[in-house]
Amino acid sequence: MQVLRAQFNWEVAFKSTLRYNRLLAKAHGLLSGMDGFPGWGMRSDAAGCQGDELYSDSQGGELSSDEGATSAREDALRRPSQKDKLFALLTARGATSSATGLLESKPMKINMHEFNEHLAGLADRDPAVRQKAVSGLAKYSFAEWQGTPDAVTAAVAVLVSASPHRSAASADGAFRAEAAKALGNIGTQSPAVLPELRRLLQHDADDRVRAEAARALGKIGEGAGTASQALAAVLGDPHAGDMLRGVAAWALGRVSPLAAGTAPALGAAAGDRSGHVGVCAAEALWKVSGEDGRAVLRLAARLGDPAVCHAAAQALYRIGAGAKEAVPALLAAAKTKDRLFRELVIMALRKIDPTAATKAGLV
């Protein structure tokens, strides 16, 4: 009997530890932020600053050699800012040859047979077939479009002129949103992309479509600087949805970081009635201004808002040592009974001010 009881207690303890470790892994995954690798965490959108979904269930997980993981690694490589990080990560895991092979791979190209099937599907009468076709085009990366210029010309012509699908009917919203995503991946490789994305952002009746257009402009970055006024207008529109305005804040900081009107627009939005918009704008403000204490204090104030406290802690973690003005608020927040939020706060403190974290016993 005593042996059975001891075994039961051990199993309970083991399961409790396992749950806690999963909680820690989730917290680490949340903190990976927008610069994290696809498949190993979440973007900085617990509050949805990009309006994106979670990458995958493998938050904070290990790299694997399966096809999905390989695709995710290749996806990360298409963003030049990730190459050094990914090489270091793979090397640390003993995969130097894999890292070298990926980094030295040939230019990526679109499978033209598959591409032509997608183009043909856009003209189908069945809405489901059209949706599948446009979603297929949206999955191609910038690098794939860049390696297949003939596909760019054909795709943009169809996406921009896909009439009856240019209507504002709500039932067509999913199609237009995927079209905006595809155009964002094509970016400045076609002069027709930016005008169409601005049109969708300013005039579409569906906030989901407008948010996708804003996100696409943000992905393009400073090459979409001509859209800065339109994004600022959306950000300051009290009648626009909070998700849309949050994406607009993120995008504005990326397309026109140095413009005279960007920091004031983000500064005003950082104190917005919507916690979601406020967190997105505050982090974007810090990124464009570097040492703007207003952004840090605005984020610190959001730690007490249950709706966006996780997102605020993540943003402060990403800012790092520049967020020392938030240390008192973080120390107070560390007293929470919410275990996941507490872990987010502790990790933020350890990164921002390790000495303060140690003194508080949060190590």
- Encode pLDDT of 23-33 as tens digits: 555 555 555 44
What phi and psi values does residue 151 have, to the nearest 5 degrees?
Answer: -70, -35
* Residue 34 pLDDT: 41
Residue 342 has pLDDT above 80, yes or no: yes
Separation CA 271–CA 120 (nearest Å): 48
Separation CA 156–CA 185 (nearest Å): 11
Separation CA 303–CA 13 (nearest Å): 32
* Residue 161 pLDDT: 82
Mean pLDDT score, 55-72: 33
* Residue 166 pLDDT: 52
Q: Is the dihedral of CA 272, 241, 137, 163 positive or negative?
A: negative
Closest CA to 61 of 21, 94, 108: 21
Alpha helical stretches, state H, the chain: 2-30, 67-77, 83-92, 96-103, 112-121, 127-138, 142-146, 149-160, 173-186, 193-203, 207-220, 228-235, 242-255, 262-270, 275-289, 293-301, 309-319, 327-333, 339-352, 354-359
- Higher-confidence residue: 239 or 58? 239
CA angle 313, 315, 321 (to 5 degrees): 95
Contact (CB, 8 A) for 245 and 274: yes
- Higher-confidence residue: 296 or 80? 296
Residue 255 has pLDDT above 60, yes or no: yes
* Residue 45 pLDDT: 40
Separation CA 323–CA 99 (nearest Å): 34
Its pTM stands at: 0.74
pLDDT-wise least confident of 19-23, 169-173, 293-297, 302-306:
19-23
Percentage of the chain modeled with pLDDT above 70 = 68
Q: How confident is the model at residue 12 (pLDDT cuts 50, 70, 90)?
A: very low
- Higher-confidence residue: 54 or 144? 144
Q: Which amino acid belongs to residue 67?
A: E
Contact (CB, 8 A) for 320 and 351: yes
Q: Find all residues with CB under 8 Å of 210, minimum gap 6, and list them.
A: 200, 201, 202, 204, 234, 240, 244
In tens, the pLDDT along 302-339 reads 999 999 999 999 999 999 999 999 999 999 999 999 99
In tens, the pLDDT along 105-163 reads 567 899 999 999 999 999 999 999 999 999 999 999 999 999 999 999 999 999 998 74
User: What average pLDDT is seen over the chain?
Assistant: 79
* Residue 102 pLDDT: 52
* Residue 24 pLDDT: 55
Residue in the structure block whose two tokens are 């050094």: 84
Separation CA 301–CA 252 (nearest Å): 23
Domain edges within the chain: 34-105, 293-363
pLDDT-wise least confident of 58-62, 110-114, 264-268, 320-324:
58-62
Contact (CB, 8 A) for 206 and 176: yes
- Higher-confidence residue: 168 or 303? 303
In tens, the pLDDT along 87-107 reads 555 555 555 555 555 555 567
